Amino acid sequence: MTAGPTPRRIALISVHTSPLAQPGTGDAGGMNVYVWQTATRLARRGVEVEIFTRATSSTDQPVVDAAPGVTVRNVVAGPFDGLDKRDLPSQLCAFSANVLRAEAAQEPGHYDLIHSHYWLSGQVGWLARDRWGVPLIHTAHTLAAVKNASLADGDAAEPMVRVVGEQQVVDEADRLIANTATEVAELTDMYGADPSRIDVVVPGADLDRYSPGDRTASRAELGLAPDDVLVTFVGRIQPLKAPDVLVAAMAPLLKADATGRLRVMVVGGPSGSGLAQPTALIDLARDLGVADRIDFLPPQPPERLVHVYRASDVVAVPSYSESFGLVAIEAQACGIPVIAARVGGLGVAVQDGRTGVLVDGHGIDEWTRRLSELLADPARRADMGRAAAVHASQFSWEHTTDALMASYSRAMSAFGRHAQTDSGRFGLRRWRNRARMMV
């Protein structure tokens, strides 16, 4: 049970991508999964959740009853098509205005708190917090300073407008949600966040769906050969996620494989800076002479994605930056060992040497060596797979929701102590910031 006050209704803000979108397409990814899974579980606990997201199609209904207790509001802000995520700051005014109008049509005190996801949403949440007089909880999901410190070769740095925008949200949010202790350190060291306002809430996996299963049956479901040895990548096709590192590292192993059974499967679609060259990964496979040994699949819905995991011998997560790494947990929940870059939250998601392998850096030769060792030892992979399923069982969305509810309670309690400041309309921190600006 959560001690202290609990919210009746939450305004959840996810500006740039809808939780109803298919992960792996466009800007949809792990954040979509996080928002949807936590929203539905909050609703099961009696909390009404209203999700504000930007409409991206003229066919989007203004209000969608997405699940019992979960409403998605598709906010019109800018053109439906043709806007990249980096263009969206220009539409925050329109988005914010429509969010405020939606609340103004309700009785006062309609929302008990705001939870914003990603910095764009935090900007909107900051404004709404001051207008509605309720606490703002913010989850960054990714941080510009962290991404810019570990860019892939040729990838574009995050713009200064994002760095500044993130800093503003970090300064203003009543509580910050971090995925791991590593992210807490990044928030405090790179953004000067107050550690007393940060809660660690570890993401999870849908353990009812992702579980060990029949590999042969899953391969038959996907049209794959039953005796292949399969290394799989799941995620958005962009430099940040480093699928090119996996393809390049696997190329010499594929060429040396005389059995013809070793294969790579890539599941996902171009995203972000990867949209500039949407066929780059396919071109790389062809240039390396291994295109015939790599299967490219579009993003898969959850009921198919579970078969992708179960069909695999190893799942690779070679990202340059990951605040956590949901793919790693989902794969392990299916009993599949993971080879991942030792970055961000992947050190928490994967137990090195027990449930998978963590690789330092992104050197192709090192990735080839570590992959070769893992692929050459079926018994070791089997042991890791069994341990992986046990490890992943600790990461459920129910545990995540427990921690979120505790954070919400802390935010509401602290905010309530300052409710009379400025007639209850503005938080104490805003007055402190205003005073600093006047000095």
- Detail the residues annotated as belonging to a binding site for UDP-N-acetyl-alpha-D-glucosamine: 22-23, 30, 236, 241, 300, 322, 330
Sheet holding 63-67, edge to edge: 63-67, 70-75, 48-54, 9-13, 113-117, 136-139, 175-178, 198-200
Cα–Cα dist 332/234, whole Å: 13
Order across the sheet with 314-317: list the strands.
294-297, 262-267, 229-234, 314-317, 338-341, 356-359
With a CB cutoff of 8 Å and minimum separation 6, the contacts of 103 are 11, 110, 111, 128, 131, 132
Q: What is the dihedral of CA 42, 307, 30, 338, to 10 degrees?
A: 120
Give φ, ψ of 143 to 5 degrees.
-125, 130
| Per-residue buried b or exposed e for 410-430, using 16+ beta carbons within 10 Å of the residue's own CB | bbbebbeebeebeeeebbebb
Neighbours of 347 (CB within 10 A): 18
Amino acid, single-letter form, for residue 123: Q
Asked if 6 contacts 408 with a C-beta cutoff of 8 angstroms, the reply is yes
Q: Which residues are annotated as a binding site?
A: 16, 22-23, 27-32, 85, 118, 142, 162, 236, 241, 300, 309-310, 312, 322, 330
Annotated binding site for Mg(2+): 309-310, 312
State the Cα–Cα distance between residues 228 and 312, nearest whole angstrom.
9
Handedness of CA 52, 57, 58, 59 (dihedral sign): negative
Residues 190 and 145: their CA atoms lie apart, in Å, by 7
418: CB partners within 8 A, 6+ apart: 427, 428
293 vs 182: CA distance, rounded Å: 37
List, in sequence order, every beta strand (DSSP E) within 16-120: 48-54, 63-67, 70-75, 113-117
Based on the number of CB atoms within 10 Å of its own CB, is 3 exposed (0-12), middle (13-18) or buried (19 or more)? exposed
Distances (CA, A) of 257 to 146, 250, 254, 260, 316: 38, 11, 5, 6, 19
Q: How many other C-beta atoms can be found within 10 angstroms of the C-beta atom of residue 125? A: 31
Q: Which of 351, 22, 355, 32 is nearest to 203 (CA)?
A: 32
User: Is the distance from CB of 324 to CB of 308 less than 8 angstroms?
Assistant: no
Residue stretches of the annotated binding site for 1D-myo-inositol 3-phosphate: 16, 27-32, 85, 118, 142, 162
